[in-house]
Structure 1
Amino acid sequence: MASQTFDMVVVGAGPGGYVAAIRGAQLGLKVCVVEREHLGGICLNWGCIPTKALLRSAEVFHLMQRAGEFGLTAEGLGFDLDKVVARSRGIAKQLNQGVGHLLKKNGVTVVMGEARLDGPRRVVVGDRVLEAGAVVLATGARARDLPGLEADGKRVWSYRHALQPPHMPKRLLVIGSGAIGIEFASFYNALGAEVTVVEVMDRILPAEDAEIAAFAKKQFVKQGMTVLEGATVTALDRQADRVVASVDKSGDKSRIEVDAVISAVGIVGNVEGLGLEDLGVRVEKTHVVTDRHCRTGIDGLYAIGDLAGAPWLAHKASHEGVMVAELIAGGDPHPVAPDSIAGCTYCQPQVASVGLTEAKAKAAGHEIRIGRFPFIGNGKAIALGEAEGMVKTIFDATTGALLGAHMVGAEVTELIQGYVIGRQLETTEEDLMLTVFPHPTLSEMMHESVLDAWGRAIHF
């Protein structure tokens, strides 16, 4: 076997792995990254980026249908699903090539193939042995398959199939209402499919603040979706031209006939075939257990991103990659704080949040103050024709600390970063009140929500 020696070997070139590799190279380390399929990983090739491209097409189509509201005329509206998908795939390909360029620019060695550990600092890829000062596992995760609900690519789809659908469904069932499920529900609903969402929990978007999730649900129903909460899909009868789903909602059983089913019931970590068991690496529920600095407990072995647990977000993986590279290079970086990482769902309307929900803030023992501001009170939102939405902020009543922020409405996935920075800087309500927000912007609602928590809102 041919052997090479590196300061750091990264297994997986997704948003955690390739970022870790680049940061390590910037710090003067000799770095190798191993990838079995696509540079950029699931996020860039089959997740975050291509889904946003699809959703942008759906958003534009939705706006075209509303042309009359803006004094415009649009006739003969329609869409070509193949071209919509082709645009999405083209964007993914462009960014995939961009990652390759960045790795090459930074002098990172790229090895394509399946990796396994032959010791905490020894990686085997085919007939190559990569000796390393440290190894970073960034193998990510994949869609969870439930017994009887497994995707087949024909009538029952995973997120990959939904990105390249074999046909446009007239009737669609989405199992699961987390970010992936709701985003695909929004996309296909906007293109005219009759969409039913089934969620086993008592409400959709279960990770979000309950008030925000309830607001979003009203909008989804208004758009024509059927939402079944506290319900379970117990069986799928797969036929040549349809799927008949058996649904149990608190003992009330029914059957739903659809053209396609999207299964979006969570993810499992890619832990198989790495040799973790032989090294004694602790794995719980398919995810590697680490400390706050992503150390596995095995000297010289780290795990980052989806492989290392929640939140399952690309930006969390990237920052963990930077942190671990700096550790390996001899630095003393701050650990990534999960409760200050924003979550974004690009449905229509968008949902975004950071920090504690109202329920979690109360459960943690905080005496809280809550501020709210509706989009209907904001001039820019009305001018955009996007007056449905809300900003909600949660503060510690004693210290004024910003505990959480939750939004639903147009462009909130861009707005949330303001509150993320606020939490990172340990901002209080006074800091936010004294900040001058530009007018006319959607961001003014962030200011008004803070003011409202102390009974000082001006415009509502």
Structure 2
Amino acid sequence: MQQLKTKVLIIGAGTGGYVAGIRCGQLGLETVLVDGGDGLGGTCLNVGCIPSKAIIHAASKYETVAKAAGDGTLGITASAPAIDLSKTVEWKDGIVRKLNSGVAALLKKAKVKVIKGWATFQDAKTCRVETEDGPITITAEHVILATGSEAVELPFLPFGGDVISSTEALSLDAVPGKLVVVGGGYIGLELGIAYRKLGAEVAIVEMADRILPLYDKALTDPVHKWLERHGVQLFLGARAGGFGDGALSITTKDGEPLSIPADKVLVTVGRKPRTTGWGLENMGVAMAGPFVKVDDRCATSMKNVWAVGDLTGEPMLAHKGSAQGEMVAEIIAGKDRRFDPVTIAAVCFTEPEIVSAGLGPLDVEGRDDVIQSVFPLAAIGRALAIEAGEDGGFVRVIASKTDHRILGLQAVGQHVAELSNSFAQMLEMGAVLEDVAGVIHVHPTLGEAFHEASLRALGHAIHI
């Protein structure tokens, strides 16, 4: 059996793992990265963030052409569109391959040794990797666990056949006639909306009383209204049951049994950390519920064993994992680092999009020491000029009354995802309302709504 010894061993090639690998290589640390199956880039690049946004983009293009059919839109007319989803998926796969190749080139440049195979730990610093060329035993001084997460499966709706997870939903060869989505969180809504744009009849079954229950109602109302306008059936406060004979059984909010016809049932009830199947139980690390317990350096309870990304808890976001992976590499190289961000902004690529960073209204409910200011996108010229001003979108600023420190930022509307980095930057820098008000914002852009919301919080918005 081949045996390797290395300074750093990374398990998982997702956004946390490969970024850690690249940074380790840049810092001169001998590094081995084990890719266990999803491919370089992990869930996000291969079957998550990137391919889903590609499908969402294609769906929006299809919808644009469909609007131009018949009487037309904006003076534009077109024939009724058709879609060959297999070709759309082929285009999406091409994007994934291109990004895979890019990650591989970056790892090679950083002199990281990549091994494709499944790793199983025998103890905290030693694992056996099953590869196509036979098993390899790897021993390391430092181990970075970056195994990511996987879709939660419901026992009464096991994945297989016409019951699919988001992974399969991104690789269908045809648009299903009837799609039922179980779970009204961001993954289910993003994909459900995309397939509705492509022409599928869509129903959403959610246990909570409203969609996107982790966000406040004002943020989710524009999405709810889009769903209603486009004929998406909403079964809120409902529980899904089994699937058979082309129908999903549910129990409605009123306790009534109901059968919903479905060609495909997409189950998106959350994700869980991937903690089984690779010997975590042999490593002696402490757990925090289903997650690996880490401190503010991403160190586990076992010396020189680190964990990053979805394995470490909420928020389970790719950019969090990347930041942690980069930090851990620098700590191993001797730098003094802590993972203590002011905020980790999140985006829902729904229709319209939602952005949230820092504290929201629910976090400051009942407090009289904060200012909340909302500015509608309907009052922004750029929004109107790109048909993004009529869906109830807005930018919201939450700040301290005493020193005007910005505490939270939210937005809902078309294309507002692009505001997320500005929101995160202002919070991270400890900006006050006057900082935003004092920046000359480019006209015409959607970012002007952030400016105006801050001006309004100070009592002198210009365009409202």
- Give the TM-score taking structure 1 as reference length: 0.95
Q: Which residue of 1 aligns with 2:164?
A: 157
Q: Which residue of 1 aligns with 2:318?
A: 314
Q: Which amino acid aligns with 2:43?
A: I
Q: Which amino acid aligns with 1:351?
A: I
Q: Which amino acid aligns with 1:272?
A: T
Q: Which residue of 2 aligns with 1:452?
A: 456
Q: Which residue of 2 aligns with 1:142?
A: 150
Q: What is the CA deviation profile of residues 343-385 of structure 1, one whole-angstrom value per residue up to 9, with x for unaligned ones? A: 111122111111111011237x572211111111110111111
Alpha-carbon separation, structure 1, partners of 2:202 and 2:48: 21
Q: What's the secondary structure of 1:352's corresponding residue?
A: strand
Q: Which residue of 1 aligns with 2:436?
A: 432
More deviation in 207-216 or 80-89? Answer: 207-216
- Could you tell me which runs of 5 or more consecutive residues in structure 1 were left unpaired when the two chains were aligned: none
Alpha-carbon separation, structure 1, partners of 2:451 and 2:107: 41
Q: What's the secondary structure of 1:358's corresponding residue?
A: coil
CA distance 1:276–1:140, shift in 2 (3 Å)? same
Alpha-carbon separation, structure 2, partners of 1:396 and 1:202: 31
Aligned residues: 454
Q: Which amino acid aligns with 2:229?
A: K
Q: Which residue of 2 aligns with 1:61?
A: 62
1:255: Cα distance to partner? 2.2
* 2:131 paired with 1:129: no
1:330: Cα distance to partner? 0.6
1:55: Cα distance to partner? 0.5
Q: Which amino acid aligns with 2:64?
A: L
Q: What is the CA deviation profile of residues 93-127 of structure 1, one whole-angstrom value per residue up to 9, with x for unaligned ones? A: 21112111111111100111111223322232133
Counting only pairs closer than 5 Å after superposition, residues 300-379 of structure 1 correspond to structure 2 as 300-337=304-341, 340-362=343-365, 367-379=369-381
Out of 179, 182, 201, the position equivalent to 1:175 is 182
Out of 282, 285, 288, the position equivalent to 2:292 is 288
Q: Which residue of 1 aligns with 2:7?
A: 7
- Could you tell me which runs of 5 or more consecutive residues in structure 2 were left unpaired when the two chains were aligned: none
1:285: Cα distance to partner? 4.0
1:237: Cα distance to partner? 2.9
Q: Which residue of 2 aligns with 1:42?
A: 43
Alpha-carbon separation, structure 2, partners of 1:449 and 1:65: 35
1:408: Cα distance to partner? 1.1
Alpha-carbon separation, structure 1, partners of 2:97 and 2:251: 38
Alpha-carbon separation, structure 1, partners of 2:238 and 2:403: 41
* 2:186 paired with 1:186: no
Q: Which residue of 2 aligns with 1:224?
A: 231
CA contact (8 A) 2:175 2:199 kept: no
- Give the TM-score taking structure 2 as reference length: 0.94
Alpha-carbon separation, structure 2, partners of 1:5 and 1:278: 19
Q: Which residue of 2 aligns with 1:18?
A: 18
More deviation in 397-406 or 411-420? Answer: 397-406
Off by >3 Å, runs of 4+ in structure 1: none
Q: What is the CA deviation profile of residues 29-50 of structure 1, one whole-angstrom value per residue up to 9, with x for unaligned ones? A: 0111001211111111111111
CA contact (8 A) 1:294 1:324 kept: yes
Q: Which amino acid aligns with 1:145?
A: E
1:245: Cα distance to partner? 2.3
Q: What's the secondary structure of 1:297's corresponding residue?
A: coil
Alpha-carbon separation, structure 2, partners of 1:28 and 1:237: 54
Q: What's the secondary structure of 1:398's corresponding residue?
A: coil
Q: Which amino acid aligns with 2:143?
A: V
Alpha-carbon separation, structure 1, partners of 2:242 and 2:387: 40
Quote the sequence identity (%): 37
* 2:268 paired with 1:264: yes
Out of 238, 242, 266, the position equivalent to 2:244 is 238
Alpha-carbon separation, structure 2, partners of 1:215 and 1:456: 26
